[in-house]
Amino acid sequence: MKDHWVLPRRRTYESACSPRWLVDDSWWLWGLLLASMVLFTQAACATKEARVVEADSEAPLPEVAKITFVGNTQFSSRTLRKQMVTQQRPLVPPWGRGEPYNPATVEGDLRLVQKYYFDRGFLETTVRLGKVQLDPEARRVRLEIVIDEGSPTLVSAVHITGTIPPELPPVQELHKVLSLRLGKPINKADFDRSMDLLLTRLRDASYARADVVPQTEVDTDTHTAVVTFELVPGARTAIGHITIAGRQRVTERAIRRQLSIEEGQPYSAEEITTSETAIYGLGAFQAVTPHLLNLEETGTPIDVAFQVREQKPHTVQVGVGFSSVERFRLQVEWLHRNLFGDAEQLRLTAKVSSIVQEFKARLHLPYFLAKRTTFTQTLFGRNEQDINTDPSGLSDALFNVKPAHSDFYLLSIGSETRVAHKFTRTLSGAIGLELSQNTFRHVNPIVLAEEGGKLAEDNLLFVQFAEGQWNTSDNLLNPAQGVIIRSRLEHSNTALLSDVSFAKLLLEARHYQRLWGPLILANRLKVGTIQPYGSSAEVPFNVRFLAGGPGSVRGFALNRLGPVSSTDQPIGGLSLIEGSVELRFPIFGDLGGVVFGDFGNVFRNSSTYHLADLRYAVGPGVRYNTPIGPVRLDVGFLVDRRRGENFGRVELSIGQAF
């Protein structure tokens, strides 16, 4: 490839520094002096020339101002630029600079762009450098890259050959789950996923030393490809010796308790991954890596080593955040990750926001009586009081922040005891007890007379609860595929310390599905009911259902959907129904968008759901992905706006709505 930019030639200074005359040497002293001066002058000139040459050799390369693609129809110019090391001058920030123009680097970038096409089925694509426009004064260069995409190579057939073990599904079923599709371009990512899936199926069936041998035959005349995966399972294998390496403070016993594999049992790649996840879930390790030690030794059990790297035993975190519900908030947390040596956690958390101020002390035991069973004891103090954490009033002006409870303050002090068990990789459950003393303060006198005067009555609750969850989602913070079903049943009785008798049931289902490409359809439905019984005709505020807000029906302020008092403040109800449908899509980079529709309401009586009284909100939103979850901005518009209601709300918070 011809270089279109040449560095400045080396400059010399012979005319300025070389001696032009000689003197008469009859006077030896003058001759010696002049000779010394000549030598000194030549040395000085040589040094100056070296410095000038060195400076010129480090002359800055011109800045790449613009990269233009010609001939690309399958992929956008922005997508292709992302594949390159050389980057053009950015629009934002305006003071940003492009990469220096280095011909060798650009040559490598052309190969990267060609590889991008090749990996997506365009095997005949050519990429070359076209025009190079240099502005010597601004020291900037514009590059034009010419692409001849050619025709895509389509998959005409996919064969699975070799030995098909009886533990695997029939070949017809395996074809259905492969990513490679007939009539589609032969995509490297789909090719690798198909091969990995077959290999995983073999290894999960205890064929640890299995192999999949791929072969691709390309017909350049018809632009088609035939892909063959030959299965070579070998012999079934058992788990051999299991070792733990890298631990320092956490006992080996605590780590082995998390293993779902045992020596002598059939090998399973899935169970090794489950064990890896469980060890990492202890919260005491930065990394957990399983290694198969003797894959090359045929006919012997597979030895497995888990390499771990521990985190610091103590951590202090201080976080400052903002949301359209809590205004500014401050949270401080101290965590001890290995309290007694078996990865026990002690977590102290203090939080202050405009709607709640709380403190929690949480002790978590990762092993309690049996494998996959945990114990958690929490002490808490929570004050639900409206305080202004934004004296400037900026958040109120931007987001129309409304108090969550205008008619009272609520102070709750208590403890929760929880025992949880993970039955399978997707099914888990928990049982527990919660004891709390709930004190109402600054209660609006009008509220005291409503709903039988029981809404804001101080109470002691001793609640027994049971929870269940079935979770097949692919991501904890931002799922794109799978189902989550949750249930929680609470019971309180005056014969067991409580001041109120009731049963409370809450059910929720969430579903996530990829439609096509990066589009994700997410939906949810939540239904709840509270049934007072015995001498209790009503339940207090701290038990009742409330709705509205960024995690509920967007468009309504927090807790502002449902029955209200004579002072037009929320009082909650005994029945709840909520639902959402959301279409999620990427915009560029970590920025994404959504369009959503929410519905729901709270009803006064138990097991009462008047579908005609459901309220609706729709709107758009944006998401920016971060390591702790997406930051989201939603605009909810009320579909059936009523007198005195705003058109909707703008909500700023963190995490997906569901």
Residue 536: which CATH number?
2.40.160.50
For residues 430 and 522, membership in a common domain is answered with yes
CATH of the domain at 173: 3.10.20.310
Name which residue leads in pLDDT, 397 or 106. Answer: 106
For residues 406 and 540, membership in a common domain is answered with yes
Place 60 in a pLDDT band, splitting at 50, 70 and 90. Answer: confident
Tell me what pLDDT residue 630 has.
86
pLDDT over threshold 50, residue 26: no
Tell me what pLDDT residue 52 has.
35
Say if 650 falls within a structural domain.
no
CA 472 to CA 475: how far, in whole Å? 9
For residues 569 and 522, membership in a common domain is answered with yes
For residues 41 and 72, membership in a common domain is answered with no
Q: For the chain, what is the domain count?
A: 5
Tell me what pLDDT residue 453 has.
64
237-290 pLDDT per residue, tens: 999 999 999 999 999 999 999 999 999 999 998 899 999 999 999 999 999 999
**Contact (CB, 8 A) for 426 and 470:** yes
622-644 pLDDT per residue, tens: 999 887 778 999 999 999 888 88
Say if 372 falls within a structural domain.
no
Say if 283 falls within a structural domain.
yes
Domain of residue 159 covers: 154-232
For residues 186 and 209, membership in a common domain is answered with yes
For residues 178 and 126, membership in a common domain is answered with no
Tell me what pLDDT residue 517 has.
77
Percent of the chain with pLDDT over 70: 89
Say if 394 falls within a structural domain.
no
Say if 120 falls within a structural domain.
yes
For residues 417 and 538, membership in a common domain is answered with yes
**Boundary residue ending a domain (148, 174, 205):** 148
CA 16 to CA 9: how far, in whole Å? 18
List Cβ neighbours of 282 (8 Å cut-off, separation of 6 or more): 250, 254, 255, 258, 343, 366
For residues 423 and 275, membership in a common domain is answered with no
pLDDT mean over 474-489 = 92
For residues 449 and 569, membership in a common domain is answered with yes
**Boundary residue ending a domain (99, 126, 148):** 148
pLDDT over threshold 50, residue 35: no
For residues 180 and 265, membership in a common domain is answered with no
For residues 452 and 519, membership in a common domain is answered with yes
**Boundary residue ending a domain (282, 310, 338):** 310
3-state secondary structure of 543: coil
pLDDT over threshold 80, residue 47: no
Say if 342 falls within a structural domain.
no
Name which residue leads in pLDDT, 137 or 84. Answer: 84
pLDDT over threshold 60, residue 489: yes
pLDDT over threshold 60, residue 470: yes
Q: What is the mean pLDDT of the chain?
A: 86
Q: Give, in order, the Cα–Cα distances in Å from 576 to each of 87, 102, 201, 539.
A: 53, 64, 44, 15
Relative to beta strand 345-352, strand 648-654 is: unpaired
**Contact (CB, 8 A) for 321 and 353:** no
For residues 520 and 421, membership in a common domain is answered with yes
Place 153 in a pLDDT band, splitting at 50, 70 and 90. Answer: very high
Could you tell me which of 237, 234, 242 has the C-alpha nearest to residue 303? 242
Tell me what pLDDT residue 588 has.
83
Say if 526 falls within a structural domain.
yes
pLDDT mean over 198-214 = 92
**Contact (CB, 8 A) for 443 and 430:** no
Match 């996919």 to its residue by tokens: 158
Measured distance between the N- and C-terminal CA atoms of the chain, rounded to whole angstroms: 54
CA 582 to CA 566: how far, in whole Å? 35
CA 13 to CA 9: how far, in whole Å? 13
CA 347 to CA 344: how far, in whole Å? 10
Within 400-524, residue ranges assigned H as helices are: 445-448
List Cβ neighbours of 614 (8 Å cut-off, separation of 6 or more): 577, 599, 600, 601
Say if 361 falls within a structural domain.
no
| Torsion over CA: 80, 82, 88, 91 (sign) | positive
